[in-house]
Amino acid sequence: MEIRSTGNPIHWVRTQIGDKYAELLSEIQRAAITLDLEVFVVGGTVRDWVLGKELKDIDLSVIGDALVLVDEISKTLDITIVKYKKFHTATIKTAEIEIDVVSARSEIYNYGGALPEITLGNLNDDLRRRDFSINAMAISMNTPYEFMDPLKGMTDLDKGIIRILHDQSFIDDPTRLFRMFRYASRFDFAIESETCRTAETAIAENCLTTISKERLTHEMVLILNEPNTDSAVKYLIEFDVLGIPGVYNPLILFSTMKQELKWVALMSMYEKKYYEMFFQKFSLDRQNANAIKEFINLCSILDDNDADLLNEMDIGRMYLLLKGIPRITLDAYVMCNINTDLVKLLQQYMMYTDRVKLNLNGMDLINLGVDKNQISEVIDVLIIKTLKGEISSKSEEELIVVQYVNGLND
């Protein structure tokens, strides 16, 4: 498909996301005319428009200084603008949408993974510094609203291909590997063969070691939040991006999974002995870090006791081994190890423990003479007896407690 002019991009913004944003863009257009600056709609916005996808955020590129443009807009509009002076970029924030305004620029990476040195430039420079051809198209907001596609992004969009723009791309910025997997899975696009080879070479050269844990974690979070995480994770493992042996498990479905299980599910596709290494690569928030630690703990408990547990199926022993493990960790284990004998046993155990509801509470135990420090021990006794079917009523529980107290007092 060849497009020379799209008409005023404000029209399609209006039809896609409404008058409010179209008005905001009109203000930007007015300010650009006042300052005699040329402004382009670029990047993901053009890509999504061509693909007919819902517009989320809007990317603009200014030939000149974006900060001057946003200063002009802020004279007339009461909106939140966050400026990044070092990079000459700004984000206009509204409740529903963000408009990223960058100064057209070229970028030089002094070493792999570095933040780039920037020099203000023209539109061509700005498109060439981008990640993939499909993200390197522009539409002028100045008449006659020319469509600019010097890197043939439209051809790749038509063919459904992700293509980098030069062979240093992944070395310069290894986060592009993750971006590539996101786009390939989101749009169900193929990765162009030369881009594939370049990615493999960059990965083999350990390009990822040049980026911080925080950036790596951020990219992984974006992958885990994609609607089609499954296919992005498949790429991630098949390209061996993390340098950890693993096998993609198609039975694990991220799309239907609770958010808090996703990191654990991802880790479970790697070999168990490398779980700790996986964990150390990221800088996780407390909730996800705990989920991973609990999962590693459960795996080592099960590994240490696997054969015994299967042979004996002693529910009391299982309870004592697993009582400290959060339910969500057990769920995660079951989800990640579908159909093994141990999982069937765990499922049985979870079914039994789910049914246990003691009639006595901590206060009842104290009233029956149990010392405060012994409460959890007595509760364990009651739960195990209930699990084994030896007791089932309040009076039977009371009898056990009385026996316990007397036994202790003897």
User: CA–CA separation, 141 vs 325, rounded Å?
Assistant: 58
**E-assigned strand segments in 96-188:** 98-103, 105-108, 117-120, 138-140, 147-148, 161-162
Q: Closest approach of Cβ 134 to ligand ATP, in Å?
A: 8
Angle CA 389–391–395, to nearest 5: 165
Instruction: With beta carbons less than 8 A apart as the criterion, state whether 243 and 206 touch.
Output: yes
- Return the number of the residue (194 or 377) whose C-beta is nearest ligand ATP: 194
Cβ at position 360, least distance to ligand ATP in Å: 55
CB-nearer residue toward ligand ATP: 83 or 128: 128
Nearer to ligand ATP, 122 or 297 (CB): 122
Residue showing tokens 């991009």: 9
Closer by beta carbon to ligand ATP, 59 or else 156: 59
User: Least distance to ligand ATP from the beta carbon of 168, Å?
Assistant: 12
Phi, psi of 14 (to 5 degrees): -60, -45
CA distance 203 to 178: 12
The least distance separating ligand ATP from the CB of residue 151, rounded to whole angstroms, comes to: 11
Q: Which is nearer to ligand ATP, 105 or 176 (CB)?
A: 176
Q: Select from 272, 312, 318 the least CA-distant residue to 295.
A: 272
**Taking the CA of residue 227 as centre, how many other CA atoms within 13 Å lie in the half-sphere pointing to its CB?**
4
Residues that bind ligand ATP (CB under 6 A): 43-44, 56-57, 59, 130-131, 135, 173, 175-176
Which CB sits closer to ligand ATP, 169 or 288? Answer: 169
Minimum distance from residue 340 beta carbon to ligand ATP (Å): 37
Beta carbon of residue 57, minimum distance to ligand ATP (angstroms, whole number): 6
Token couple for 118: 């920037």
Partners of 89 in the beta sheet? 84, 102
Cβ-proximal residue to ligand ATP, closest one: 44
